[in-house]
Amino acid sequence: MKGVIGVRRSLRWLAVILVALLVWPAAAQQGRPERSRLVLAVGGKEALVYLPLTVAERLGYLRETGMQIDIQNFAGGGPALRALVGGSADVVSGFYDHTIQMQAQGRDIRAFVMQQRYPGLVLAVTKAAYDAGVRSFLDLRGKRIGVTAPGSSTHFFLNFLMTKAGASLGDFSVIGIGAGATAVAAVRNRQVDALVNVDPVISLLETAGEIVVLADTRTTTGTLRTFGGPYPAACLYATGEFIERNPNTVQALTLAMVKALQWIRSRHSVEDIVNLMPPEYYQGNREVYTRAVRNMLQSYSPDGRMLEAGPPNVLRVLSQFDPQVSRARIDLSKTYETRFVEAALKQLRGK
């Protein structure tokens, strides 16, 4: 009897081993994520610059990664970056320029999939300030200017425009006002004289006649006029250590984002995109939100790739107002990865 039981146990173990041998190659081929859960920080998820992230979330592409992805929303890109550096976030949906800024500080941060080709940043003055004679960048000296958060890319944009015009960074005050309803309230409550922000905030205020735009990078023409070349913006980035230790995790996130970008660039209408978004993102005006989405369509990357001319131009812009960047020897090849997007595109072409 003991012999029979022993044989049965051996057969059960053999069956387990055979199943494992059959399953293991499939799992290896799929490249299952090393992480079962991660934290993704974003600086203003409701902002249209990060619309591809919300598309990936709402269509279930993030869920398809097999990971539990906890999205933490911050007022701007600066706080989201600090969450990554501080270790409370694994990945950031933020602007590419932070990777260059961080390398200048000795930190290895790399973008691995682009969401935008153009930043969609806008500098505008309030109607009250405009009527009082604020008509140019230099007129903003001594004024209160709202940005999403200090240290964010909206702050970088402001610094670039002001120093390019001949002002110094101490000539104006910077106030963090967020990228949603709080930004609208800051203008309406006259807490700021001007703001740097993104859609849908800009379209809402512009439609209501409450601001006058001085600089606009929501289109190809506006971006080239302002920056003198392409300025890749929203992306997903992480530390180099995280990327090297979790390549399958990064690949899964990249695939989700590329699928979202392809969905946006497909034959789906602007209405389809608007219908997908949470209603609270409309800020009470669906018509204006729809117009804002239409205005931003040019800015989104069609495939997640980095524009070749983008990184050198971003470095040139940052060097004009950030002495730490201008003094550093920046290796642009270490500020972004291309392998994950190329693998995602190859996988999607094979379907």
Q: With b meaning 16 or more CB within 10 Å and e meaning fewer, what string describes 48-60?
A: bbbbbbbbbbeee
- Residue 59: what pLDDT? 97
> CA-CA distance, 299 to 307, in Å (whole number)?
12
Q: Is the pTM of this model over 0.75?
A: yes
pLDDT, tens digit (0-9, with 9 covering 90-100), for 284-313: 999 999 999 999 998 999 999 999 999 999
- Residue 351: what pLDDT? 65
Average pLDDT value for residue range 156-179: 97
Cα–Cα nearest to 122, from 104, 98, 99, 145: 145
Residue 9 has pLDDT above 70, yes or no: no
Tell me whether domains 37-119+231-349 and 122-227 share a fold: yes
- Residue 6: what pLDDT? 44
Residue 107 has pLDDT above 80, yes or no: yes
Residue extents of the structural domains in the chain:
37-119+231-349, 122-227
In this structure, the number of other CB atoms found within 10 A of the CB of residue 213 comes to 14
> CA-CA distance, 267 to 58, in Å (whole number)?
18
Tell me what the pLDDT averaged over the chain comes to.
92
Average pLDDT value for residue range 147-172: 97
> CA-CA distance, 340 to 313, in Å (whole number)?
23
Please give the C-alpha separations between residue 111 and each of 44, 58, 299, 300, in angstroms, as whole numbers: 18, 23, 17, 16
Report the share of the chain in percent with pLDDT over 70. Answer: 91
pLDDT, tens digit (0-9, with 9 covering 90-100), for 64-84: 999 999 999 999 999 999 999
Greater confidence, 149 or 17?
Answer: 149
Q: What is the band of 41 on the pLDDT scale with cuts at 50, 70, 90?
A: very high
Query: Which sign does the torsion angle of CA 213, 203, 92, 219 carry?
Result: negative
Residue 11 has pLDDT above 60, yes or no: no
Written out in words, the top-level CATH class of the domain with range 122-227 is: alpha beta
Residue 267 has pLDDT above 90, yes or no: no
Residue 13 has pLDDT above 70, yes or no: no
- Residue 350: what pLDDT? 84
> CA-CA distance, 126 to 141, in Å (whole number)?
15
pLDDT, tens digit (0-9, with 9 covering 90-100), for 189-217: 999 999 999 999 999 999 999 999 999 99
CATH code linked to domain 37-119+231-349 = 3.40.190.10
**CB-CB contact of 251 with 288 (8 Å):** no
